Chain A
Amino acid sequence: MTGVAGERAYADLAFVQRAPIGALPPPLAMRGPWGWLRANLFSSAFNIVLTVVMLALIVWIGKSTIDFLFIDAVWVGHDRTACMASEQRPHVGACWPFVWERLNYFTYGSYPIPQRWRVDVFFAMLAIGVAWLLWLEAPRRDLGALYFFVVLPVCSFILLSGAPALGLETVDTSLWGGVLVTVVVSTVGIVVSLPLGIVLALGRRSRMPAVRLFSVIFIEFVRGVPLITVLFMASVMLPLFVPEDLTPDKLLRALIGIALFASAYMAEVVRAGLQAIPRGQYEAATALGLKFWPQMGLVILPQALRVTIPNIVNTTIGLFKDTTLVFIVGIFDLLRTIEVARIDPKWATPVTSPTGYAVAALFYWVFCYAMARYARHMELRLSAGQERR
């Protein structure tokens, strides 16, 4: 009896969902930092164990590193007594006053003190050159290349070794040392090895027998000999074969040895890139009427070098660290100056050596990481057309 009225009343009350209900947020356990932790670190029993072990390891190593470098470290002092453990100070960390006192030695080696501004100017010029060349939006990069490959080497040479005609007294390379030597050796090695490596790689794939044979012999010979032997031969054997007056400078010998050595490795890296380019690219370039060098410069090498960037950087970083081997011929690079300084009885303590090595590690890491980051940036930029990530 009240059916109709009842139904109408029901209809009035009826609620019709016209739009979809918004999705509920995932449960608390699946989102936010907690969810991230669950998904990435604690997803299974094995991962939980792994996470806990790694965390313990990080805390353990991190804590002792921070304790050594900062908390227990000695910040002021004049000689070894400051960095010796005593009853009031049973745990002694890094001995920083040793580094402050020796910082100039680590940077310049035995370079005469009144002349050290010349090294500073060299560092500044090099920094400008590197920035100009590597910063892609820099103005007039063609001038930058000219500056880096022509002006800088000539100026640096005059500045560092001296030109009596210009009022710069001669500084023998036996006095160079520290960061100066490391930077000079690695810059020369890197800058020479890439072009020379490309030429050698092209030579190895050349159809001209003499060129190919020379490239193959050079690459295989240099690659088959350890760098340490090359340096040793250059320093010990070479002076015996040439008259005393013509003996090339020690640093120059090491520079040539390292540059040639790096070139051989670079050549193989570049060759790998050349092999990766499909034959069609060569044929297409030939079909366009390009001769050999334009063909290489415009079509093949840009592609080949792009795919080999990770390997080129790998070789470069390896070379940067290999420069420490010049100590074998009595050249004081950064690592050697640190080695020498830690022997000094004035600072002889149990913590002197670890402090010195920490400085060396930091220096090499900063430079190598910077190289790696820049290379990664270049890779991403150049692979934009291929989305190869």
Chain B
Amino acid sequence: MKRIASILALAVVLAVALAAQSASAQTLKTVKDRGMLNCGSNGTLAGFGLPDAQGKWAGLDVDFCRAVAAAIFNDPAKVKFVALTAKDRFTALQSGEVDLLARNTTWTSSRDTSLGLNFTGVNYYDGQGFMVRKALKVNSALELAGASVCVQQGTTTELNLADYFNAHKMQLKTVTFATADEAIKAYDAGRCDAYTTDASGLYAERLRLANAGDSIILPDIISKEPLGPAVRHGDDQWFDIVKWVHFAMINAEELNITSKTISDALKSDNPEIKRLVGADGNFGEQLGLTKDWVVRIVKHVGNYGEAFERNVGQGSSLKISRGLNALWNKGGIQYAPPVR
């Protein structure tokens, strides 16, 4: 059933991709007229998009949508979150049901081209990792030869795992399960030595183990999963806006502008800061926004680092370290072109 549905979805998506190219090229105007940004998101992924006990959505992708809304309306609450599944996310974007898709979507060439999407950047560099029991005394994925690995069936994760072990001429025993739930339960019960999925997921899954302290997450990442927001083809202005909201958040972090220090930044003499907060130049207007667009984003949502730490980093229960997602000058690869 799942298979038929996904094939069907793919066929629909491809058929419509071309027709949708000419879809409304006036997204900014539509959003402003509506008074609300429609943002397609994942409602079921800890750290990226998940309703809390009050029913309010929280997560890194969710905060990105709020940042876009803040830049346009000066109000981060003017977002309608549309919960999308992996299957219907692309059609929802193409049909105009959502203006922006921020749903932990991996940036791939086919999605960028034939599906008619434009990825606006990478707000989280993810990749497949391993969790192993400490007792195994393994410090690198390369030492996993002969280990049994619990993995979810029929996913790219399973294929990556086989590729990686083949490439390193290591013997692999996979133990596959239909759902991630079953796989993690089996790992917890000791049926396998290691468990593999995307690294961001590993941290969330580890919390569900009976003894989280007994397992470690290996530093090795064996696949590239750059997750980023996407918009439709055919509206360059909207593409620019969404792209630059992400860059603005990274630039703000690089220049040490946080939601707490934003009022000081307005008085700064640093030319880079002056350009970013709109004290100098008219970069916001060039995008179709206002002069103070970055101030709005940082004031309401914070810079990239703040959003990261709050949702997936040390300020959250996931406690994921920055890793690849640190700024380029701090050992990571998050880099944004300058505002000027």
A residues adjacent to B (C-beta < 8 A): 80, 84-85, 101-102, 104-105, 108-111, 113, 172, 174-175, 177, 226, 228-229, 232, 235-237, 239-240, 244, 247, 250, 328-332, 337, 339-341, 343-346, 348-350, 352-353
* Chain A, residue nearest B209 (CB): A350
Do B45 and A343 touch across chains, with their CB atoms under 8 A apart? yes
Q: Is B32 an interface residue (CB 8 A)?
A: no
* Chain B, residue nearest A328 (CB): B85
Do B43 and A344 touch across chains, with their CB atoms under 8 A apart? no
Q: A105-B54, A343-B50 are in contact. Are A228 and B83 (CB under 8 A)?
A: no
Residues of chain A lying within 8 A (CB to CB) of residue B280: none
Do A104 and B46 touch across chains, with their CB atoms under 8 A apart? no
Segment touching A, from B90-98, B128-136, B243-251: B90-98
| Given A105-B52, A228-B5, 14 additional A-B pairs, CB 8 A | A80-B317, A84-B210, A104-B55, A236-B9, A239-B92, A239-B95, A331-B83, A332-B51, A340-B44, A340-B50, A348-B204, A350-B185, A353-B181, A353-B208
Do B95 and A345 touch across chains, with their CB atoms under 8 A apart? no
Do A235 and B88 touch across chains, with their CB atoms under 8 A apart? yes
Q: List 9 A-B contacts (CB under 8 A).
A: A110-B57, A228-B1, A236-B88, A332-B51, A340-B50, A346-B317, A348-B207, A350-B185, A350-B188
The 8 A-B residue pairs with the shortest CB-CB distance in the complex, in nearest-first order = A110-B55, A348-B207, A330-B83, A239-B95, A345-B317, A244-B96, A348-B208, A345-B46
In angstroms, Cα B43 to Cα A257, docked, is 23
State the interface size on chain B (CB cutoff 8 A).
Answer: 46
Give the most central of A110, A237, A330, A346: most B CB within 10 Å: A330
Do B210 and A174 touch across chains, with their CB atoms under 8 A apart? no
The SS class assigned to the A binding surface is helix
* Chain B, residue nearest A237 (CB): B12
Q: A111-B55, A232-B5, A244-B24 are in contact. Are A332 and B46 (CB under 8 A)?
A: no
Q: Is B318 an interface residue (CB 8 A)?
A: yes
Give the most central of B51, B88, B209: most A CB within 10 Å: B51
Shortest CB distance A338–B (Å): 11
Interface residues of B in 268-319 (CB under 8 A from A): 316-318
Residues of chain A lying within 8 A (CB to CB) of residue B208: 348-350, 352-353
In angstroms, Cα B47 to Cα A104, docked, is 21
In angstroms, Cα B51 to Cα A102, docked, is 11
**What per-residue 1/0 map shows which CB atoms of B64-98 lie under 8 Å from chain A?**
00000000000000001111110110011011110
In angstroms, Cα B38 to Cα A368, docked, is 37
Q: A109-B55, A240-B95 are in contact. Are A345 and B1 (CB under 8 A)?
A: no
Shortest CB distance A281–B (Å): 43
Do B92 and A339 touch across chains, with their CB atoms under 8 A apart? no
* Chain B, residue nearest A79 (CB): B317
In angstroms, Cα B24 to Cα A244, docked, is 10
Do B97 and A239 touch across chains, with their CB atoms under 8 A apart? yes
Shortest CB distance B20–A (Å): 8
